[in-house]
Amino acid sequence: MPTYEFTCKNCGNRFTIFTSVAKRNEACCPACQSRDIQQVYNAFMFVKGGGGGNGTASAGGSGGCSRGSCSGCSGC
């Protein structure tokens, strides 16, 4: 099941939920029950070259690695 991260515009609470794609729009803040929330998009990991585990792990999305500055990076 996908993981989604949100920030509540009402109280500022940042939270993560595990839900289906169809139900992510029904999410509400667990702290104040507000539905005025914004999804937070983060960098994610993916494997180049398809499945099978023979690819190279790289940072994807925006932000994330800045060309080898993180300890787990192989130079992206």
CATH number for the domain spanning 19: value is 2.20.28
The half-sphere exposure of 28 on its side-chain side, counting CA atoms within 13 A, is 5
Number of domains in the chain: 1
CA dist 65 and 76 (Å) reads 8
Residue 67 domain flag: no
Q: In this model, does residue 51 exceed pLDDT 70?
A: no
Supply the range of the domain harboring residue 30. 3-60
**Assigned domain for 36 exists:** yes
- pLDDT grade for 38, boundaries at 50, 70 and 90: very high
- The stretch 42-50 carries a mean pLDDT of 55
